[in-house]
Amino acid sequence: MLVQNVEMGPNVRGLENSIDESLVKNSTFMGIASGRSMEGMGIFDGDILIIDRAQDVKNYDIIVACLNGLFVCKIADLKNNQLLSSCPEYKPVKLTSFDEYCVEGVVTQSIRMHRPNARLGVVRLYKLRVTRPRS
């Protein structure tokens, strides 16, 4: 799939790189956001998330993690060992030794979906629908 600029006039330029080459590297996978807790960061229900496993998590990065068997997209507050939502109606999740917690990757980009696309082959998994690259 090639990406093209859409301009208001007759001059339309095409990009030479495919979306895969530009956005999805070997250690990257895609997920579809579900819910409203990250709207303050511009991530809305149904948006495609580009998640990079090779990135080191830094304080206040947006991450995808598996928390007690559920995939979540949250802000990593490393100093206080908690996960934050960007909307104030959602309380922080303080991580404890009883939690099963694993960071899946850092969200590097999000793409707004204005119409669902069945060709993406995305499967819903709890709070986040995730697709992994084919090996």
Would you name the residues annotated as active-site residues?
37, 74
Q: Where do the H-state alpha helices sit in 24-75?
A: none
For the chain, the domains span 26-131
Q: How far is CA 93 from the centre of its chain?
A: 19
Between CA 79 and CA 56 the distance in angstroms is: 15
Determine if the pTM surpasses 0.95.
no
33, with CB counted inside 10 A (0-12, 13-18, 19+), is buried
Q: In this model, does residue 92 exceed pLDDT 80?
A: yes
Q: In this model, does residue 62 exceed pLDDT 60?
A: yes
Between CA 114 and CA 119 the distance in angstroms is: 15
Predicted confidence (pLDDT) per residue in 6-27, tens digit: 444 344 444 445 555 665 566 8
What's the CATH number for 26-131? Answer: 2.10.109.10
Between CA 61 and CA 27 the distance in angstroms is: 17
